[in-house]
Amino acid sequence: MIPLEDTGMMEAVDIDSETRMAVDGSTEPPEGYRDPDISVAIRELKSPNHRNASIAAEFLFERSHTEHERSSWNKNQIRNEGGIPILCQLLKSPSWHVRYHACSALSELAFRNEKNCKAIVENSWALQSLVEMLSTTYTTMQEDAALVINNCAAFCEEACLVMIKHPGLVQALKALVTDGLFGAKNVSVGAINCLTRCDSAKKLLNDLKIVEEALIPAIQEAGYGEKYNARVCRASMAIANLTGSCYEPLTTISHYHTVAAMVEILGYSLEGKSWAGINFAPYSVLYPLRSLAYNPKHRKELIECGLIERIAETMNTWKLEDHRSRQVLLIAIDIANVLFKTPDYKGIFFSSGIFAATKLVASGRRDEGQGVLKSYHLLSCLPFLLALFLF
């Protein structure tokens, strides 16, 4: 049994957790790394004593949490030593505390770790248990279950299809969005938003009427405060991902303000700051902005809201960090290429610094990969600019 003083109950919070930065990504630990306390906790998960199993699950949550200096290595150790299947089994425990702490641990294990996400959704116990937890009357349990889905969807595209196809899972999320309490609504909208970024899942989600029966109602519902605004923006992002458009809500939040908020969020994201209490990853904001940019009716307002300047900033500050980094750069170049075709806004392009930023990408000095060729294509659209910036 793990001593009580070695564990700490961390408050479950409603955050867009696909955006939290791990200390060192999801790198493999150095050869020979092993935390013996983790091994003890995994064994203790099998204890018939519910209190011991609960404490062990809570301990693994703490060791997996982003704030732990070795969280990434610990997550891999827990997977390699068979901790994930046991935690998934504990989601069926008759003890509320065991289920709660097992679910919390799984949500942290899924964060920024694709292999863990796969291990969770491929487990025969996990998804059905999560559906049942989403449908429980315990709001905290609902939020944690939605957070597991959120993180698995955010960090593993393969997991998205598996989850969407699982009987009752999307319906349970929809029910929380429309009928759940405030916190559960927020996390469920975040989970749906993550699912909508999977290209291969869009048809399924549209067939399930996720826009009409969950996302639009989420936007139409009146409310106030930072978390409410965040919910509206995430619902709007999800609609943009699925439809390429931005729904005009019937509340006091206007269509134009919603688009402006997305551009504002991108700026906060690039600076590593939170917006409405949430730290959004650049990828999660650029993805819907690209969908809107592809739609000609949104291009002028995107430019007027400062998107070109934010795209230049994205290119200038870009660095290779994880598997999403290259996608961030390619999406940014796509947006610049599309928006440049908008008449009457060429002056903004000159003053935004976008061409100097594109030249930096074209240099390839930061290991930009495919971004080099795509940036050359953008510059070649204007031969005289190509001459100015490259020669």
Token pair belonging to 343: 């008449």
pLDDT of 390 reads 45
Query: Is pLDDT of 5 > 60?
Result: no
% of the chain residues with pLDDT over 70: 87
Which segment of 90-99, 154-163, 220-229, 246-255 scores lowest on mean pLDDT?
Answer: 246-255
pLDDT of 66 reads 87
Token pair belonging to 281: 């990853």
**pLDDT tens for each residue of 255-302:** 447 889 999 999 999 999 998 888 899 999 999 999 999 999 899 999
Q: Vertex 266, ends 375 and 364: CA angle to 5°?
A: 25
Average pLDDT, the chain: 87
Query: Cα(71)–Cα(102) distance, rounded to whole angstroms?
Result: 17
pLDDT of 380 reads 73
Which segment of 27-36, 97-106, 144-153, 168-177 scores lowest on mean pLDDT?
Answer: 27-36
pLDDT of 387 reads 42
Closest by Cα among 293, 287, 382, 389 to 342: 293
Q: In the beta sheet, which residues pair with residue 275?
A: 278
pLDDT of 237 reads 96
Query: Is pLDDT of 229 > 80?
Result: yes
3-state secondary structure the chain: CCCHHHCCCCCCCCCCHHHCCCCCCCCCCCCCCCCHHHHHHHHHCCCCCHHHHHHHHHHHHHHHCCCCCCHHHHHHHHHHCCHHHHHHHHCCCCCHHHHHHHHHHHHHHHCCCHHHHHHHHCCCCHHHHHHHHHCCCCHHHHHHHHHHHHHHHHHCHHHHHHHHHCCCHHHHHHHHHHHCCHHHHHHHHHHHHHHCCCHHHHHHHHHCCHHHHHHHHHHHCCCCCHHHHHHHHHHHHHHHHHHCCCCCCCCCCCHHHHHHHHHHHHHHHHCCCCECCECCCHHHHHHHHHHHHHCHHHHHHHHHCCHHHHHHHHHHHCCCCCCCHHHHHHHHHHHHHHHCCCCCCHHHHHHHCHHHHHHHHHHCCCCCCHHHHHHHHHHHCCHHHHHHHHC
Query: Cα(328)–Cα(307) distance, rounded to whole angstroms?
Result: 14
| Average pLDDT of the residues in 95-115 | 96
Query: Cα(300)–Cα(26) distance, rounded to whole angstroms?
Result: 39
pLDDT of 19 reads 37
Closest by Cα among 319, 339, 343, 344 to 329: 319
pLDDT of 375 reads 87
pLDDT-based confidence at residue 28 (cuts at 50, 70, 90): low
| Average pLDDT of the residues in 185-203 | 96
pLDDT-based confidence at residue 196 (cuts at 50, 70, 90): very high
CA 105, distance to chain mean position in Å, is 18
Radius of gyration of the chain from its Cα atoms, rounded to whole angstroms? 22
% of the chain residues with pLDDT over 90: 71
Dihedral of CA atoms 215, 91, 16, 202 in degrees, nearest 10, equals -40
**pLDDT tens for each residue of 346-373:** 778 778 888 899 999 999 999 999 889 8
pLDDT of 2 reads 38
pLDDT-based confidence at residue 29 (cuts at 50, 70, 90): low
Q: Whole-prediction pTM value? A: 0.87
Q: Report whether 154 contacts 191 (CB < 8 A).
A: no
Token pair belonging to 84: 């994930």
| Average pLDDT of the residues in 81-103 | 97
Query: Cα(359)–Cα(353) distance, rounded to whole angstroms?
Result: 10
pLDDT of 248 reads 59
Query: Is pLDDT of 166 > 90?
Result: yes
Token pair belonging to 388: 């100015």
**pLDDT tens for each residue of 298-345:** 999 999 999 999 999 999 999 998 778 999 999 999 999 999 878 777
Q: Which letter, b or e, does each residue of 103-132 get, where b requires 16 or more Cβ atoms within 10 Å of its Cβ?
A: bbbbbbbbbbbbbbbbbbbebebbbbbbbb
Q: Is 4 left (phi over 0), alpha (psi -120 to 50) or beta?
A: alpha
pLDDT of 340 reads 84
In one letter, which amino acid is 188? S
Token pair belonging to 249: 């809500």
